[in-house]
Homo-oligomer: A and B are copies of this chain.
Amino acid sequence: MLKKEEISTWFQGLQDSICEQLKAVDNSTIIQDLWERPEGGGGRSRVLNGRIIEKGGVNFSAVEGPLPDKIAAALKVDDAEFFATGVSIVLHPLNPHVPIIHMNVRYFELDSGIWWFGGGIDLTPHYIDKDQAAFFHQTLKDVCDKADKSFYPKFKTWADDYFYIRHRKETRGIGGIFFDRLGNNHHLSKDELWIFVQNVGETFAPLYLKLAQEKHELPFTEEHKNWQAMRRGRYVEFNLVWDKGTKFGLDTDGRTESILMSMPPVANWRYNYIPKPNSAEAATQALLKKGIDWATKANT
């Protein structure tokens, strides 16, 4: 039976591996902070800055202890001991033609025997490139299909619904996959689910580096940077207003600097900004909606 220590050790290795792969291309400076959680466990927060990544956070954590009241209430369980471990990443690139990416893989268990995996990868291009979008979604579909043919359609829709900025009536980007509570009652075994989660984790770095390398040397103007800063503003809005993980972390006295590593280096807000008709910005804006079949390029 797969043990929690095996999972957290593997996640820690994933953090190392992703940092190495990113650094090899990005020539990143990486600052690491080790932190401990007073109630049990801790983590390794790493901030990257290089020639492609303006600000990136690659976090590993493995925390444990008595289940916080708010979670116990949400899960409808009485007092229990919990264990949670995962890797969480957001990369904000310097070049506006390179997309923002987010990845998370996580495992949660209670001492009562309840456990589940969760995670996902989603992409937020400042400028949507349909070829990159198709490649991105097809890659995620391939990873899903290897585990279960039902996964991609389900997790793709879940991402559309989750990464939705309700007050803007727009998606955060082109989505990707999102899944949660793959646990005890799943038709796949724990070992099978674990292989799927590992595959998601391992897909991240090569996938992003391919997308980034195709774009990061493209020239950009001040207008591109302004639009990037506005899209980053929307990223901030999503994360602070709607993202359950962020809200939960801030609400339960998580480590603020690690939680808010997802914040962009610079963001801006202009009142009621509407992109010029027929501009690249307007084209992207028009595609920030749910239900686009990105993997099948003809449908975008």
Contacts and interface: CB of A to CB of B under 8 A. Distances in A.
A33 B267 contact: no
A233 B236 CA distance: 10
B265 A267 contact: no
Nearest to A237: B240
Nearest to A236: B236
Given A241-B240, A241-B250, A263 B256 contact: no
Nearest to A169: B256
A150 interface: no
Interface stretch (A99-107, A127-135, A182-190, A269-277): A269-277
A46 to B, nearest CB: 10
B241 A257 contact: no
Q: In the assembly, how many copies of this chain are there?
A: 2
Q: 6 tightest CB-CB pairs across the interface, nearest first?
A: A240-B240, A263-B269, A167-B250, A47-B271, A266-B268, A257-B272
A255 to B, nearest CB: 10
Contact of A229 (B31, B259, B266): B266
A120 B257 CA distance: 30
Contacts of A253: 167
Nearest to A233: B263
Interface string A23-55: 000000001010000000000000100000001
A259 B241 CA distance: 13
A119 interface: no
A3 interface: no
A261 interface: yes
A168 B256 contact: yes
B55 A256 contact: no
A260 interface: yes
Contacts of A240: 236-237, 240-241
Given A47-B272, A240-B241, A257-B271, 20 more contacts: A55-B269, A55-B271, A166-B250, A167-B250, A167-B256, A167-B259, A229-B266, A233-B263, A236-B236, A236-B240, A236-B267, A237-B240, A240-B240, A257-B272, A264-B268, A265-B268, A265-B269, A265-B270, A266-B268, A267-B268
A222 to B, nearest CB: 13
Contacts of A272: 33, 47, 257
